């Protein structure tokens, strides 16, 4: 199926309440005999394999969010989402779901079954009534409004109707206007009611309400309401932190006002979720799933917008390696690190384009320079960035270092800079050395070379590594080096013996390496590592 309207990304919510990408494919709705009902099927666009098979159950509450998302729970703690490439495709599948359940597709949530007591209650309400009747937005009615918001949280139907009512007639903005009045009057009781109201509105789990509450002219008042938790003796100072302490630094001026606004919004909403809102109970967990989605897709949009701004990124890398930018290099490298972390939210094909963009802009030669700098924080951030690149594509890194060697006459190569950083780790616990050893191990592992499109990568890279890099790795064996570091090097050599049969044995014989390491036999720190190395050789 090539119809882009039905092209979707499948997500599942993990235990950390983060959305995991399960793949891209095309969705259809069809009768599945085995499941005895109309089901949603997603087949991978790469090989046609089945990514999702989910029966449309009459008892499942589906939600449509942000025009291109359909979210639902199949079981306790198992949430699913379909992210559509086009709104038209989302609307088609949504109408099919509503048709199967006999629901109105004009609503953004299908209705859970209700028990007999609730059914009796709702029979009194005419079928034409779609909204909850809200009290007038007045100071004297705040307690009544708070009671209403709190009372609907146990019923999906009433939550939906209240959300629709709140979106009409600018009710949210009127409430936030009352918040400013209550603060001016020091009306603590009213502020406590507003805390309950705003917290309850967030728990309605409605993306359209979030768009209003998290807009530039509302979000700080929302934060202000959440400062007045009745359980606290004194209100928290979250607004003061967000406006005075948490300063937004533009390492390179961002000219796109929409991008700047999106970054500010995402930081503040993340702060609301992580810092301000209390940890939800088991009963409340699903109330914030849309908030998690809101933050997630904001991050995806930020990465995409930054990636498309080639002028901005070009300037970042130019200044990162410019000697004149010493004063803000730490900010620059931390920006790139956070940028890479955000990229983990991208779909695989977009992540591939992202890292190719970074490679074309010179991320690897830039890392080679900053890894050799004296600033420990700069070096640590550079290593973290390097780990993202190695994890994404060790072949890309290998290809770079082999090309680099052809363009220079010395051994100042990126991979040798990494080895030297491992050897010179100043941390007594050698945390950085262990991290770098793991990255080196990935780079020299033939197992992940086999998947390369370049059939000669294994032969070419290992020949390169033993000719230009192995002497840097084994140099500490000739010196009185930190014993724990020697154990790490011996462990890496053992890996080489296990996986590089020809190259490592030739190197050991030609360099008389066994005789050199035998002097370490008396060291209790390296004895076990040596025993493992020798047993592997034998």
> By the 8 A CB rule, do 465 and 444 touch?
yes
Confidence band of 450 (pLDDT split at 50, 70, 90): low
Task: In whole angstroms, give the CA distance from residue 425 to residue 444.
Answer: 21
In this prediction, residues 22-36 reach a mean pLDDT of 86
What's residue 175's pLDDT?
96
Say how far residue 459 (Cα) sits from the centre of its chain: 36
Choice between 302 and 15, residue whose per-residue pLDDT is larger = 302
Task: In whole angstroms, give the CA distance from residue 291 to residue 264.
Answer: 16
Say how far residue 437 (Cα) sits from the centre of its chain: 25
User: If phi over 0 gives left and psi between -120 and 50 gives alpha, with beta otherwise, what is residue 67?
Assistant: left
> By the 8 A CB rule, do 422 and 437 touch?
yes
> By the 8 A CB rule, do 161 and 131 touch?
yes
What's residue 245's pLDDT?
85
- Checking if the pLDDT of 199 tops 90, the result is yes
Structure letter (DSSP) for residue 448: G
Is 424 in a helix, a strand, or coil?
Answer: coil
Q: Using alpha carbons, list the distances in angstroms from residue 123 to 31, 69, 186.
A: 33, 32, 43
Digit-coded pLDDT (tens) for 203-214? 998 888 999 999
What's residue 269's pLDDT?
95
Percent of the chain whose predicted confidence (pLDDT) is above 90: 33
What's residue 227's pLDDT?
96
> By the 8 A CB rule, do 19 and 293 touch?
yes
Task: In whole angstroms, give the CA distance from residue 417 to residue 473.
Answer: 11
- Checking if the pLDDT of 478 tops 80, the result is no
Digit-coded pLDDT (tens) for 105-162? 888 887 654 443 433 333 332 333 345 789 999 999 999 999 999 988 877 778 888 9
Task: In whole angstroms, give the CA distance from residue 341 to residue 344.
Answer: 6
Beta-bridge mates of residue 70: 64, 82
For 375, the enclosing helix (H) or strand (E) is: none
**pTM exceeds 0.95, yes or no:** no
- Checking if the pLDDT of 380 tops 50, the result is yes
Task: In whole angstroms, give the CA distance from residue 167 to residue 160.
Answer: 11
> By the 8 A CB rule, do 435 and 387 touch?
yes
């Amino acid at each position: 199926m090539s119809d882009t309207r039905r092209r979707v990304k499948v997500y599942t919510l993990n235990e950390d309440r983060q959305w995991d990408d399960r793949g891209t494919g095309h969705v259809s709705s069809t009768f599945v005999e085995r499941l005895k009902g109309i089901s949603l099927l997603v087949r991978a666009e790469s090989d046609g394999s089945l990514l999702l098979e989910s029966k449309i159950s009459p008892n499942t509450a589906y939600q449509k969010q942000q025009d291109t998302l359909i979210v639902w729970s199949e079981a306790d703690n198992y949430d699913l989402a379909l992210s559509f490439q086009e709104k038209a495709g989302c609307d088609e599948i949504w109408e099919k779901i509503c048709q199967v359940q006999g629901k109105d597709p004009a609503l953004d949530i299908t209705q859970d079954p209700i028990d007999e007591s609730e059914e009796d209650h709702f029979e009194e309400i005419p079928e034409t009534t779609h909204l909850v009747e809200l009290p007038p937005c007045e100071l004297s009615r705040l307690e009544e409004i708070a009671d209403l918001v709190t009372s609907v949280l146990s019923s999906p139907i009433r939550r939906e109707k209240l959300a629709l009512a709140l979106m009409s007639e600018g009710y949210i903005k009127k409430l936030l206007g009352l918040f400013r009045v209550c603060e001016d009057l020091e009306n603590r009781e009213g502020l406590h009611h507003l805390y309950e109201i705003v917290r309850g509105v967030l728990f309605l789990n409605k993306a359209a309400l979030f768009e209003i509450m998290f807009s530039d002219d509302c979000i700080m008042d929302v934060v202000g309401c959440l400062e007045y938790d009745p359980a606290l003796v004194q209100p928290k100072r979250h607004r003061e932190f967000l406006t005075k302490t948490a300063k937004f630094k533009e390492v390179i001026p961002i000219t796109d006002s929409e991008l700047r606004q999106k970054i500010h919004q995402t930081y503040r909403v993340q702060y609301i979720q992580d810092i301000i809102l209390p940890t939800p109970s088991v009963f409340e967990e699903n109330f914030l799933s849309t908030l998690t989605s809101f933050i997630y897709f904001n991050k995806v949009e930020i990465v995409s917008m930054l990636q498309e701004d080639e002028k901005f990124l070009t300037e970042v890398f130019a200044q990162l390696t410019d000697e004149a930018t010493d004063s803000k290099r730490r900010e620059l490298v931390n920006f790139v690190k956070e940028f890479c972390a955000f990229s983990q939210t991208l779909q695989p094909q977009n992540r591939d384009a992202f890292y190719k963009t970074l490679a074309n802009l010179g991320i690897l030669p830039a890392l080679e320079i900053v890894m050799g700098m004296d600033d420990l924080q700069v070096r640590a951030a550079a290593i973290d960035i390097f780990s993202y690149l190695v994890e994404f594509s060790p072949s890309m890194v290998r290809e770079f270092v082999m090309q680099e060697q052809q363009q220079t006459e010395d051994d100042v190569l990126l991979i040798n800079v990494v080895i030297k950083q491992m050897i010179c780790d100043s941390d007594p616990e050698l945390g950085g050395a262990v991290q770098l050893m793991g990255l080196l191990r990935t780079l020299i592992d033939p197992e992940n070379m086999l998947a390369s499109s370049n059939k000669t990568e294994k032969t070419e890279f290992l020949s390169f590594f033993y000719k230009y890099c192995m002497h840097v790795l084994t140099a500490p064996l000739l010196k009185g080096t930190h014993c724990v570091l020697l154990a790490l090097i011996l462990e890496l050599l053992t890996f080489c013996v296990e996986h590089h049969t020809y190259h490592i044995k030739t190197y050991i014989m030609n360099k008389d390496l066994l005789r050199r390491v035998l002097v370490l036999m008396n060291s209790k720190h390296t004895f076990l590592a040596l025993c493992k190395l020798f047993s592997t050789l034998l």
